[in-house]
Structure 1
Amino acid sequence: MNLRTLRAFVEVVRQGGFSQAADVVALTQSTVSKAVKTLEDELGTPLLNRLGHKNELTAAGEIAYRRALVLLAEHNDLVAEINDLRGLKRGVLRIGLPPVGCGVLFAAMFAAYRTRYPNIDIELTEYGSKRLRECLEAGEVDLAALLLPADEGFDYQPVRNEPLMAVLPMSHPLARRKRIDFTDLADSPFILFEAGFALNAKILAACERKGVTPRVTARSGQIDFIVDLVSAGLGVAFLPRMLAHKHQHPGIALILLDEPHTDWHIALVWRASAHLPPAARAWLDLAKEMASPV
């Protein structure tokens, strides 16, 4: 069993197939397939149920996948700690950011970081919250920007806390309200982000608390497109206040969402057991220095 084999197996699970995994790990599909077969032979049990083009983890596969993430993370921690010991003149900042809000929050930080640390390479990964957590667990990124609360086993440094705004078309009968809640919007179709975005979970959980079953009419990962759909009258959407104001235009109304436990509270998160390299610690220090008052 070696790390290359484990990496191939993990990516087959993540990507949902051998060909997709091959693209990620820069190997041929047959090599990835052989790697998974080798791992199954070593463990003496099938790890995947191969159903046509679909692959599902067996019970043993679930255990192997979970353990593989830990082993890969430990390897990355080892490399980072040894590099610190060597006192490398160059470093790497490996950071994961979600597509929603990262430009508004972090663009100025990237510019300041590059000016302050010109010899640090920046490896930026952009995914939804669920995938970013997996990247953290596997040690593929040192830090990730995620919504609080953080999962057990993670430490965090808060970055920004913003209330949500309901984004309504100007033609909506409630468009002139100052505040609004999910009971008011029970009959309005919702436009949400794509699956894997943590903001969806906050919205749906708040609806459940109010006894509201939302009718989702569209999903997208692009804020501009979501706002355009709202303006066209397709439904209502929900954005953190700073992002809502950035995308304001005459076709929409922005109303403060009067719902507890729905704030967009974003933080920089890392594994509590991880060795944070100097490049990551420098990013945390800069984030604290540049933090804006809420």
Structure 2
Amino acid sequence: MDILQLKYFIAIVENDLNLSLASKKLHLSQPALSKYILKFEEEENLKLFDRKNGRLSGLTFAGENFYNNAKVVVENHTNMLSELREQSKKITGTVRIGIPPLILTVLFTEIMAQLIINNPTISFVIIEQGAYELKKLLFLGEIDFAVILAPTELSPLLFEETLISRDELTLFMSVNNPLSELEKVTWYDLKKSNLAIFNENFMIHHLLKKKFESLKISPVISLTSGSWDFLLEVTRTSDFITILPSPVHWHFNFDDVIEVPVRDPISWKVLLTNPIKSHYSRLELYTKESIISYFNERKNIVPMEEWKV
């Protein structure tokens, strides 16, 4: 069983042996997760789980020991990788930050430039994905930080979350759209509208769906995309309405697209998330502190060699 499979095993235990819940959080199919466990039990000729009526009901004695040891191995593996990335004589290293494309453009353009310019020997790797993929990468330890929207549904026992920005979702539409004449739009005004929204890989999609369900309305979702600039562009020559964070209005120059607030808006809360660990590298601490200070205290980024914990 490799490190990845150890993480799968730990996930099953920490989700109360609920394979369905664990598979969703891992973004892995339930049959594939079951197969990993069965294969290991067969190869090692031991039982990790007690079963009742075909379902996992508890850990065997061997399973309990294996779980405790697996946590130690995964923690040591994480620390080993962190130490490998630690600074040597020169400050070097790599930080992997997962950021959805919209948040990257709207919030992180300036701060990423400052981090890179002030730290030329450090590699800041940006992974652009939707929230669901980023949560999977974060859980598997393939990125150091993820910038995602609340609610994250991440376990507070395993991950830290820090609020770094807060705004609200608003409507963007053609100036020729009848709703553009309103000072504020209600959600019920959208019942017969054609919407162009983010696809299912992005948290905004699910926040909107939840809002529509709570109000028992079913707007026509005519188009979904992972590209926020495409969603804006498509409103220019159609009656489509897109729903995006208000700060987007600073990032386009269309005279024929207008922003219209909505009553009882959906909050857009941006969080910096990272795994809870017993050991953090100096580079990880620097990156986290720099991002939080930049957003919450409006402090400019200082080079890591000048930074004090």
TM range (shorter): 0.7 to 0.9
Structure 1: which amino acid aligns with 2:193? Answer: S
**Distance in 1 of aligned mates of 2:247 and 2:36:** 50
**Distance in 1 of aligned mates of 2:239 and 2:72:** 47
Counterpart of 1:155 in 2: which secondary structure?
strand
Counterpart of 1:216 in 2: which secondary structure?
strand
Partner of 1:140: 142
CA root-mean-square deviation = 3.6
Specify every segment of 5 or more residues in structure 2 that has no aligned partner in the other structure, as ranges: 8-22, 30-34, 44-53, 57-66, 299-309
**Distance in 2 of aligned mates of 1:293 and 1:208:** 37
Counterpart of 1:131 in 2: which secondary structure?
helix
Shift of the 259–76 alpha-carbon distance from structure 1 to 2, 3 Å rule, reads: farther
Whether the aligned pair in 2 keeps the contact of 1:70 and 1:137 (CA below 8 Å) is no
**Distance in 2 of aligned mates of 1:275 and 1:199:** 33
CA deviation after TM superposition for structure 1 residue 138, in Å: 0.7
Partner of 1:239: 244
Shift of the 211–81 alpha-carbon distance from structure 1 to 2, 3 Å rule, reads: same
Number of matched residues?
A: 255
Specify every segment of 5 or more residues in structure 1 that has no aligned partner in the other structure, as ranges: 17-36, 46-57, 61-66
**Distance in 2 of aligned mates of 1:211 and 1:274:** 46
Structure 2: which amino acid aligns with 1:167? Answer: F
1:42 equivalent to 2:17? Answer: no
Percent identical residues? 19
Structure 1: which amino acid aligns with 2:40? Answer: E
**Distance in 2 of aligned mates of 1:218 and 1:105:** 25
Whether the aligned pair in 1 keeps the contact of 2:4 and 2:140 (CA below 8 Å) is no
- Provide the TM-score with structure 2 as the length reference: 0.70
**Distance in 1 of aligned mates of 2:269 and 2:93:** 29
- Provide the TM-score with structure 1 as the length reference: 0.73
Aligned match of 1:258 in 255, 263, 281? 263
Partner of 2:293: 289
CA deviations on 1:134-170 (whole Å, 9 max, x unpaired) are 1111111111001023322321222211111101222
**Distance in 1 of aligned mates of 2:73 and 2:225:** 32
**Distance in 2 of aligned mates of 1:199 and 1:73:** 33
CA deviation after TM superposition for structure 1 residue 96, in Å: 0.7
Counterpart of 1:162 in 2: which secondary structure?
strand
1:271 equivalent to 2:272? Answer: no
Counterpart of 2:193 in 1: which secondary structure?
coil
- Residues 48-197 of structure 1: matches in 2 within 5 Å? 74=75, 76-83=77-84, 89-150=91-152, 151-153=154-156, 154-197=159-202
CA deviation after TM superposition for structure 1 residue 244, in Å: 3.0
